[in-house]
């Protein structure tokens, strides 16, 4: 299984900070709700033509229908919003995102608001992978990383696959020991379900204009204490011969599959949600 546990009077806008893009809904002149879900839907750009290629790589690596797994996670996430399932979000979200979800759900009561939805049929959900990144040198839990000024970073991109490498300027053996390679996948979902934001017992405040699209970013990180994937990647980065061979991942799906299997095949890895509808501007690892 891909995931182990798996209104007209309103004004909608975004508030920008260096590392955040909070989605806000103005309730009235004195109240504004900051909530990690865009009730109007996600603004859809041109869809990535490599979506099917990404899907094939993931299916081959994990020997499962990953599209079904992502759809299942999306349906569970929508249901968790409606049920206010804090435990689900605590388990599946990266901690910085969970803090935003928790605050948003608690603010519903403070503002006398509630969520409601049309019925969701899982088989009616459509999903397309629109980004694929391999990341190494930082930790999945953002608060455990240094500030951006304490890293040097390199990014490579070929055939739609991004490789992001971070190196801490100050060598900390304990920090390096905990590093694990990660995969980050952006998924664009479409369904006939809308989550409506409503005044309790009253009018709809937001969601009546939803376009049906939402975007979740998933991140795969190993929870093993034995970083075999890190040892393999370290070998690649420090061996010119191995590096040349690894560059084949940008030219061949089969090379990509072998590379990812070497990173994650030994360890038990878990998918987490790191952002919803760009609420945290992608939730960067460092800022």
Q: Predicted confidence band at 279 (pLDDT cuts at 50, 70, 90)?
A: very high
Residue 113 lies in a domain: yes
Q: Is residue 93 part of a domain?
A: yes
User: Are 183 and 133 in contact, with CB atoms under 8 Å apart?
Assistant: yes
CA distances from 213 to 36, 94, 112, 130, 186 (A): 14, 22, 26, 13, 13
* Domain assignment of residue 163, given as a range: 11-276
The span from the CA of 47 to the CA of 58, in Å, is 18
The residue-averaged pLDDT of 136-157 equals 91
- pLDDT, one tens digit per residue, over 251-264 is 566 777 777 777 76
Average pLDDT over residues 8-23: 38
Residue 286, domain member (yes or no): no
CA dist 24 and 79 (Å) reads: 21
Token representation of residue 263: 């990173």
Tens-digit pLDDT profile for residues 184-208: 999 999 988 889 999 998 999 998 8
Residue 208 lies in a domain: yes
Question: Does residue 2 lie within any of the structural domains?
Answer: no
Report if residue 283 sits inside a domain. no
Cβ 207 vs Cβ 40: under 8 Å: yes
**Does residue 246 sit within a domain?**
yes
Span 16-31, pLDDT tens digits: 333 334 578 888 778 8
Pairing of strands 126-136, 182-190: antiparallel
pLDDT at 173 over 90: no
Number of domains the chain is built from? 1
């Amino acid at each position: 299984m891909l995931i182990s546990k798996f209104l007209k009077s309103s004004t909608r806008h975004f508030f920008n900070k260096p590392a955040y893009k909070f989605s806000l809904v103005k309730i009235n002149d004195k109240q504004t709700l900051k909530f990690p879900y865009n009730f109007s839907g996600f603004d859809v750009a041109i869809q990535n033509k490599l979506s099917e290629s990404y899907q094939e790589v993931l299916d081959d690596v994990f020997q499962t229908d990953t599209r079904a797994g992502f759809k299942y996670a999306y349906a569970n996430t929508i249901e968790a919003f409606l049920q206010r399932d804090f435990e689900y979000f605590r388990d599946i979200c990266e901690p910085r995102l969970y803090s935003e979800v928790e605050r948003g759900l608690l603010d519903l009561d403070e503002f006398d608001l509630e969520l409601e939805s049309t019925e969701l049929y899982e088989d009616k959900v459509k999903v397309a992978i629109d980004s694929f990144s391999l990341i190494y040198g930082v930790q999945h839990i953002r608060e455990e990383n240094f500030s951006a000024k304490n890293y040097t970073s390199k990014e490579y991109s070929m055939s739609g696959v991004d490789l992001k490498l971070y190196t801490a300027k100050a060598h900390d053996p304990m920090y390096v020991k905990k590093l694990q390679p990660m995969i980050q996948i952006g998924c664009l979902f479409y369904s006939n379900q809308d989550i409506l934001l409503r005044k309790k017992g009253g009018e709809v405040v937001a969601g009546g204009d939803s376009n049906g699209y939402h975007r979740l970013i998933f991140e795969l990180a190993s929870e093993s204490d034995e970083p075999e994937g890190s040892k393999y990647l370290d070998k690649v980065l420090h061996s010119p011969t191995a590096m040349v061979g690894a560059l084949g991942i940008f030219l061949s799906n089969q090379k990509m599959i072998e590379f990812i299997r070497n990173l994650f095949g030994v360890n038990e890895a878990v998918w987490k949600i790191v952002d919803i509808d760009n609420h945290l501007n992608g939730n960067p690892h460092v800022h």
